[in-house]
Amino acid sequence: MEDLPDRSCAYCGITSPDSLVHCQTCDKWFCNAKTSRAGSHIVTHMVFSKHQSLCLHPDSDFGETMLECYNCGNRNLFVLGFVSAKTDSVVVILCRLPCAASKNADWDTENWQSLVENRQLLPWMAKPPSEEEIQHARPITAVQISKLETKWRQDKDATLMDLDQEEVEEELEPILMRYSDAYQYQRAFSPLVQYEANYDKLLKQSQSLQIRNIEWSLGDNGMRLASFTLPSYDAFAIKLNVGDPIELKYSGPELGDPWQVSGYIVRVPGVLNNYFTAELLASQSDKMPVHISSGFTADLVWKGTSYDRMQKAMKHLAVNSKTVSEHVYSALLGIDHQPTAFPVSQKQNYSVPKSTKLNASQDNAIKSVLSKPFSLIQGPPGTGKTVTSANIVYQLAKRQKKPVLVCAPSNVAVDHLAAKLESLGLRVVRLFSKNREDVESSVQHLSLTEKVKSTAAIKGFYKSKDSNGKLSAADEKQLETLQFKEQRRLIVNSQVVCCTCVGAGDHRLDKLKFPSVLIDESTQASEPECLIPIVKGANQVVLVGDHQQLGPVILSRKAGDAGLKQSMFERLIHLGHIPIRLDVQYRMHPCLSEFSSNIFYDGSLQNGVSAESRIRANNMFPWPIREKPMMFWGVGSSEELGPSGTSYLNRAEAINCERAITRLFAEGVEPSQIGVITPYVAQKEFIVQYMGTHGTFADKSKYLEVEIASVDAFQGREKDYVILSCVRANDNQSIGFLTDPRRMNVALTRARYGMVILGNPRTLSKNSIWSRLLLHYRECGCLVEGDLDNLRLSNLQLQRSVPYRAREQGSSTPTSAGDLFGSQLDLNLHGGAQSWPKLGSELDTPANARSMHDDEIKNLAEQLQGKIRF
């Protein structure tokens, strides 16, 4: 079965020269057969392996030809397209940016067309094999392909035969809503956590990322730092966070032997730079290839700590139900129990002196929380969740001797809350994980490690370490004991301990009890993650969040669908818990909050800011209605695949984005006040490149300072002006990530002063909630099209679709990593064909794919033969 000629598709064995192309990176051949909706074999391979350059078969119509940009030589298949000559009947291959984006006297660059269409190479480049050829080809499933690609990373000669055919697909039981005891709870969640851990491991270990432009330096602590960009890193397919371990490798010609070193990420790309920085586990004296700056790869290293801690928390609750109070236990599991009430004073206002004066809903929330063992607070965007949480913690801390445990799933949220708590005058300790200790943080001074270092008992040891280089073995031991003692003392004497949910499982908190726990942004944590701080002795739990905004990020669709994507907050709401809702928003111009309020919050969201206070004095931006700083700027463009082959971009939207930003700059708006939200990483990159090359504002550096990020990255944040580039524009009405109403809710509620939505109304209107949005903008007189200086109302026919009902749909839409930045391969290696690599959250159907008949292809190939300039 494996006895195939060298030049045959490494997946299916097809040998026809017209259909085969050669991957220049791995020296394998692939055909252009599209047997699944994920893409043709060659495109699937390029996407999976992140390989980029291709050569046509020597016996094909065009002969052995490297696909590259005629102008600059760029060989990334996903940025290549062709344009025709203006006068002659020849075509040329050019890259999308910069070569095809500049006007050219000879070439019709305005009609550039990508070489990949519908995730298949254009048929005149490599012919799709005939039905008959496909039938006779070696059968290979999507799961086998994904396993084979993973195997090739370790063994480039692996074949289908090497895959374990016996492996049985694991079934996952969906979670329950109620549990009779914590054992049953553990039995439901534990396999899901395990599955997610395995999936994450496989995903990380299958990634070897090409590094570009490595820069070497030394950190303040004498450790080697390497800063680099990862051009093939699909930024949001796999999360690479601060603290994550990596292996840096080099096996190029400039060193005799392959070289590698371990390290961990200490900085990730920010608004102004594209660099990752890794601290390497090598000191100044170690020999490093600092004279080499290219040819390195970074392997991601999987870390199972967070999963281990979730498992441990579930086990802890199962074997020791008394670790939490009876009320908390019953509330968690959905067991009926007598409600209990803690005594609270009837005082009217809980505002802390000299801090924000609380509104009635915030004040009621605090009163209610203090009297109950288990509370949920739902805070729609900008309603003061953080302010309210801080005030709750303040009241709890004043009432009890033991510190309050304050957690959130993300470090950013924990830092934010820790700073707020400190500003209220509380004694706060911030517990960072070991890998984050060296990472810059706004609350570094609250760090447990920093505080311990500055205690009188410890200081001397560090001084001596600094002057002598190291401590004696006996001193090291003594320091360790003293550090432990000081840590305990500081924690016990604090009023608040702040850490991430996973951080609450840190050994430094072992054996300590925290009767009160508040979890901010709890709707972004998975249920087992939330459990970690709760099992540390809780008798009073407060979950703060909003289940109408984005939920936890679960990598495996299968584990997510079995229930892991549902937060504890959401399950408890399904069980009948009524959340206390904060109902006054202080962020948006009232016209910007209206749609979200009506669709997601039963129209209950009130405005704590007036329209006047959200209109800038010299408001000259061409809003269709002057008093309403919002518009849906319809663009009848189409989407394209981005450079990684896994993400989309939309050139026309990028152009309009630049125009809107330039206009805001001209009005004196600063870059830091503007945010561009786009679900696709390819669009982000394209906008950055486009503004850099084509931006018309005199000071081009300003464009670089505008933050462009995914919806997910903007959750919990705000900007004065937001431009949302929807990107998806196709005839199939696939809108990918945009189908998630919660993601839409987040995207629409970030702007304070003005919002511009760039999208294709025709594509978007086929989705019920987007259709509602379009109708809303039309009813407000803000659905427009045309030039920014000459906008006109769009008269596109919009369908009145089935009304969207937030409570029915909002919580059930998938929120997997596959939706993040909408660009990802959902590499569900155990998931069967439906979860095969896909773009966004929807797949194009074959019925919609444009197909060409064989003779048409032949004609076209013949016509083009000899007329293409490679």
Ligand X SMILES: Nc1ncnc2c1ncn2[C@@H]1O[C@H](COP(=O)(O)OP(=O)(O)OP(=O)(O)O)[C@@H](O)[C@H]1O
The binding site for ligand X (CB under 6 A) comprises 356-359, 362, 379, 381-387, 586-587, 608, 716
Minimum CB–partner distance for residue 550 and ligand X (Å):
11
Minimum CB–partner distance for residue 580 and ligand X (Å):
13
Closer to ligand X by CB, 386 or 441: give it: 386
Minimum CB–partner distance for residue 521 and ligand X (Å):
7
DSSP for 361-394, please give it.
Answer: HHHHHHHHHHH-SEEEEE--TTS-HHHHHHHHHH
Minimum CB–partner distance for residue 721 and ligand X (Å):
16
Closer to ligand X by CB, 582 or 820: give it: 582
Cα separation, 633 vs 661, in Å, equals 14
Handedness of CA 99, 105, 110, 111 (dihedral sign): negative
Closer to ligand X by CB, 521 or 529: give it: 521
Minimum CB–partner distance for residue 410 and ligand X (Å):
11
Question: What contacts 821, CB < 8 A, 6 or more positions away?
Answer: 235, 236, 237, 647, 679, 680, 681, 684, 710, 712, 737
The structure tokens 């999507």 sit at 142
Distances (CA, A) of 608 to 277, 584, 586, 588, 721: 42, 6, 5, 9, 19
Minimum CB–partner distance for residue 688 and ligand X (Å):
25
Distances (CA, A) of 191 to 170, 194, 224, 362, 832: 10, 5, 40, 39, 18
How many Cα atoms occupy the beta-carbon half-sphere of 429 within 13 Å?
27
Residue facing ligand X at closest CB distance: 384
Cα separation, 529 vs 853, in Å, equals 53
Closer to ligand X by CB, 585 or 637: give it: 585
| Bridge-based pairing state of the strands 54-56 and 20-23 | antiparallel
Token readout for 668 is 């004196």
Closer to ligand X by CB, 379 or 643: give it: 379
Cα separation, 397 vs 569, in Å, equals 23
Closer to ligand X by CB, 80 or 366: give it: 366
Minimum CB–partner distance for residue 357 and ligand X (Å):
6
Burial call 716-731: b when 16+ CB within 10 Å, e when fewer = bebbbbbbbbbbbbbe
Closer to ligand X by CB, 356 or 733: give it: 356
Minimum CB–partner distance for residue 586 and ligand X (Å):
3
Does residue 98 have a cis peptide bond before it, meaning omega lies within 30 degrees of 0? Answer: yes
Per the CB < 8 A criterion, the answer to whether 27 and 10 are in contact is: no
Minimum CB–partner distance for residue 196 and ligand X (Å):
26
Alpha helix segments (H runs only) across 38-178: 41-49, 131-136, 142-154
Minimum CB–partner distance for residue 766 and ligand X (Å):
29
Token readout for 805 is 């009902």
CA 720 to chain centre: 22
Minimum CB–partner distance for residue 742 and ligand X (Å):
12
Minimum CB–partner distance for residue 389 and ligand X (Å):
8
Cα separation, 588 vs 754, in Å, equals 8
Closer to ligand X by CB, 382 or 409: give it: 382
Closer to ligand X by CB, 383 or 522: give it: 383
Q: Which amino acid is at 859?
A: N
Per the CB < 8 A criterion, the answer to whether 526 and 564 are in contact is: yes
Minimum CB–partner distance for residue 673 and ligand X (Å):
15
Closer to ligand X by CB, 382 or 624: give it: 382
Closer to ligand X by CB, 565 or 719: give it: 719
Question: What contacts 92, CB < 8 A, 6 or more positions away?
Answer: 70, 82, 83, 85, 107, 868, 869
Closer to ligand X by CB, 523 or 794: give it: 523
Closer to ligand X by CB, 91 or 711: give it: 711
Closer to ligand X by CB, 358 or 706: give it: 358
Per the CB < 8 A criterion, the answer to whether 652 and 617 are in contact is: no
| Bridge-based pairing state of the strands 120-121 and 116-117 | antiparallel
Minimum CB–partner distance for residue 546 and ligand X (Å):
7
Minimum CB–partner distance for residue 356 and ligand X (Å):
5
Closer to ligand X by CB, 385 or 558: give it: 385
Angle in degrees, 0-180, between the axes of helices 527-534 and 182-205, rounded to the nearest 10: 120
Cα separation, 146 vs 163, in Å, equals 11
Cα separation, 226 vs 281, in Å, equals 11
Minimum CB–partner distance for residue 412 and ligand X (Å):
11
Cα separation, 104 vs 95, in Å, equals 14
Q: What is the DSSP letter of 199?
A: H
Minimum CB–partner distance for residue 751 and ligand X (Å):
12
DSSP for 541-571, please give it.
Answer: EEEEE-TTS----BS-HHHIIIIITS-HHHH
Q: How many C-beta atoms lie closer than 10 Å to residue 351's C-beta? A: 17
Gyration radius from the chain CA atoms: 29
Closer to ligand X by CB, 362 or 734: give it: 362
Closer to ligand X by CB, 204 or 719: give it: 719
Closer to ligand X by CB, 447 or 585: give it: 585
Minimum CB–partner distance for residue 569 and ligand X (Å):
14
User: Which three-class secondary structure state does DSSP give residue 224?
Assistant: strand
What is the spatial order of strands in the sheet that 751-759 belongs to? 707-709, 674-677, 719-725, 751-759, 630-634, 783-787, 790-793
Cα separation, 650 vs 658, in Å, equals 13
